[in-house]
Amino acid sequence: MPTLNQIKPLKELNTAGIFLCIARVPETERVIVGSAEAKLFEYDLAADKPEAVAFGEGHSSYINGVAWTPSGIVSGGYDGKLVWWDATTRQAIRTVDDAHSKWIRKVVASPNGKRVVSIADDMQVKLWDAESGALLHAFTDHQAITPHHYPSMLYAAAFSTDGMLLATGDKVGHIAIWNADTAEKIATVESPGMYTWDPRQRRHSIGGIRSLAFSRDNKWLAVGGIGLIENIDHLGGPARVEVFDWKAGKPLPELSDNKHKGLVTQLVFTPDDRWLVTAGGDNAGFITVYDASTWKVAFQDKAHQHIHGFAANDAVDRISTAHHGKLAAWSLSSDA
């Protein structure tokens, strides 16, 4: 991949919904988005005027996770349900009502689309067969209560590109790395700088691991979240990214982004592992690209709103982002 040095906004679409998650249909510009209104929608961002195509009924509350697989689309939400959808009819074909006992935070498909992982505030990690919906494994290494005696949350999960590894990360900065076939724990790393305890204003613990990504060679694990939060009402903390040589248990220097504040909700390495693309925000949003040869900011751009999620194509030169009342498409490229 050539040197990346610019982000171009390609399309911006104002919508009625508050979009909390997004998945991309491979080799297309079609995206599936989950909303705070308990609905899924499909948009073709290649169209001149993309129109929302609604899915049928399935959830009763916020949809926080959605994944595309060859066997259908899988979504999860605040209601603890996992729902499988026919990608053609957009109707529910399977519902697991008690998939989790608390809020599902994320649903991620393995790279080959044969398995789906769901994580939730019951602190359980569950691996499912994408075609049959069968539960393959249920496991955890995440504590339900924080060190300050408040409920914890399990926010982040990511497969490695070869599908052999799975990483999960929680509110207090604990990350577990698993064999994705056997659910055997392989390693752990800690990122306590992602966690803030506020003993005065709210007596509340906030922050946490919000995104994870393996490098394509599986050497590095990138971790996204937020640094020390001074203004807890407005996510008043610096966007924080850490990278670990996880097999050696060795953290690399923290990646600094002094320009932007808020949560780093998404991470992805480019196919050559040269660049790490990150996104998130507080009230405003951002996309920041780090040069993995130096771990310095290569370039960055603002988004009009906090980015709840993004979906990148395989080349990581096209990104679709989900916002509060907005969808956007971007290109990452060289000006050469």
DSSP per-residue codes, 77-126: ETTS-EEEE-TTT--EEEEETTS-SS-EEEEEE-TTSSEEEEEETT--EE
Residue 194, helix vs strand vs coil: helix
Q: What pLDDT shows up at residue 336? A: 53
Per residue in 109-131, pLDDT (tens digit) is 999 999 999 999 999 999 999 99
Burial 3-17 (b: 16+ CB within 10 A, else e): ebeebeeebebebeb
Mean pLDDT rounded to a whole number for the chain: 92
Positive or negative CA dihedral for 276, 15, 116, 208?
positive
Which is more confidently placed, 16 or 24?
24
Q: What pLDDT shows up at residue 255? A: 84
C-beta of residue 20 within 8 angstroms of C-beta of residue 313: no
pLDDT of 163 strictly over 70: yes
For the full predicted model, state whether its pTM sits above 0.85: yes
Amino acid letter for position 80: G
Chain-centre distance for alpha carbon 216: 17
Closest CA relative to residue 123, chosen from 81, 151, 147, 154: 154
Q: Which residues pair with 177 in a beta bridge?
A: 167, 187
Closest CA relative to residue 9, chosen from 332, 326, 336, 334: 332
